[in-house]
Amino acid sequence: MSFSKFGIFILFAGLAAAACKNNADPTGDVFSQKDTAGINEMPVSANAVRSDTPMVSSFTKPDAMARNKYSRFDTILIKDLCTQMWKFDGGIEGPKNITAEEMQGFWMQFFPNGKYEKGMYHKITSKGNFTIDNLGFLEMTPDDSKEKKSEWQSKFNSDMLILIGTEKYRDNHIQMRLSRIGKKPVKTN
């Protein structure tokens, strides 16, 4: 009995298919036997640290701010945010570019106790409370109830702060870039 190479291939393929059919799931669901462990998990770097407990931030738990119970990430962000003051460098409001010259003298200052102040030159124009979460979402609530609340996605880079308005209080058409300064701007004539 002489078989060609193609005939031998067909014979082995048929035997393999028959063996697989005997081991198949009786329900006929081929995918029920697949290993799906880890499919929905995000890949983690070999050096990454993953917490076993969920992070609770002051932003998701506003009452935590009153008790000053921040997570370690909140503490890092607050320390960065509250180091010195911030002056306006430029921004966008809808289709309009806003230059530093147009906002000359504008500054903001955040304090570790959850308070903030903003103003022009030596004059404070607004005060209030803020919260920031571990994702950098910064919510500002003015003391004056007539003033509008705001929420910003904040991004830090050394001595620069980017604030991008969110939809929550309809500020999503505003972005601004601020830089760290040691003291309030001084008006020059």
Q: How is residue 78 written in tokens? A: 């607050």
Matching residue, tokens 């931030």:
57
Amino acid at 147: E
Distance, CA of 52 to chain centre:
20
What is residue 27's predicted lDDT score, i.e. its pLDDT? Answer: 53
Q: pTM for the whole thing?
A: 0.61
Q: How is residue 101 written in tokens? A: 């010259």
Torsions phi, psi for 35 (to 5 deg): -85, 110
First to last CA, the chain: 108
From residue 162, alpha-carbon distances to 69, 86, 113, 121 in Å are 25, 11, 22, 21
Confidence of residue 4 (pLDDT cuts 50, 70, 90): confident
State pLDDT tens for residues 31-64. Answer: 445 555 544 454 544 444 444 444 445 555 555 5
State pLDDT tens for residues 164-178. Answer: 999 999 999 999 999
Pick the CATH number of 62-181 from 3.40.50.300, 3.40.50.1820, 2.40.128.270, 3.40.50.960: 2.40.128.270
List the chain domain ranges.
62-181
